[in-house]
Structure 1
């Protein structure tokens, strides 16, 4: 797995999200406001009819609900020895048990909760860092832009997985929160570059010039004029960040650098490998977590493709 360094739409082209021409430009008295409601209704119309978006969203929601509600019915300790060793899936043990008599289904639902937690937290950290740096660099320009761009390029060329392995290996106590923070702090550069490219284009638009003439401060121009015109784009970026964070976390868990407390889908794979589940024919121990990671990430990327079709008129299906 390598760090993604391309944006989902294309940073070298002028942005054309749904809201691109619908920002409220009435920041100067006497200038009419363009309302966004019709465009939002149009996007919602196509979203309801996009099979990729609806299908991916349905899969993600099913796993999310399973992760949120499943632990309520399996107990608080997924690592407890509760059944016979190496029992195959049955009515009593839905996903069978491990060689130690642990309930694989209980570990799976707790692992889903951990997967979504790490994905969301890491994506939020990376997204916020990338957007703040990208907006500031693209709008301000000059020396500040050069400095931020240099920092971004330095972090971008770092071997992220190797750096994460070194950092995590030296942490005596590792938790889901620390893992999410570490992943989030190293996965923002491509977001910053993409947002910077979009901002460079949008800052030359007329509605931004009108906001400047009205005397609006920089932060208001960025978050009320530029950012809303990139809302669809930023939402797609979050989906990519989520998927990338889940894969990074699963990799660290699988090689033994995951949380030292609790469980996750990656740690389930690590334990199954460590105790030779494949050689012993205990397929129910390693297939559910591996399949869960694959399906969740695939569904997120399918959602991203569907959103691209919804927000890009050229890709819409009639």
Structure 2
């Protein structure tokens, strides 16, 4: 499929802001979301979603600039998100990059990690769209009462304006439940897809050509284990995503453990290739120096659970 056929994305508007490019326009969207009257009630939800979006976007940075195809890939995936998701759901676990290549072309230059991150970006943007537009529509609904009066309140009495919007929110409680469930489901899927992107990046950073050592099959097995239950969990996430705090903790713990395992395997593989010894303490310190795995105690606990310490 010619990627140029997909760059004309459908219209996307979030909190009254037009989005033409998922790479360039999200800063303006975040500013618009912060202006929503009830934003403080959902600040943590949006903070997590935009952090996820920023992380996914960073996969497309090279030497401080976005790679040339970043814009067209993200637009194409946004336009074809339902088709990609349907095909990925029926394919083998962890096959998302190959599914995406089926739409972009098998020879597309983007890496597997970039393609997975791009789809995580799309899912994250969808999550923000659902929640932000529900809040934005609450504000629009109040203008039906008396547009001039409401606009005056918005400018001169922000607290009264927010109170009025909150009353409208309670009148539409059913829509809130639906919006929150959709947001939780999409953000959960985006987090899982970003985990996939991170693990693919670990695979891509390993030179598997030396001495016949190949860790990619091991890490891809981790991907299978992490995502084989994705479809069955999707419905569960919708029902309890905003209520079960432990599910978020468990997801973050799984993400950190799999990331530590992939990074540790990479370090161990490198030392084997170099025929250099690696001590238990040195492995912990090297992982700690990467800054993304937590404290040394956390790293040691995960390595112990993974059977990677003490090193033999």
Asked if Structure 1 and Structure 2 have the same fold, meaning a TM-score greater than 0.5 normalized by the shorter chain, the answer is no
Normalising by structure 2, we get a TM-score of 0.28
Higher relative contact order (CA 8 A, sep 6+): 1
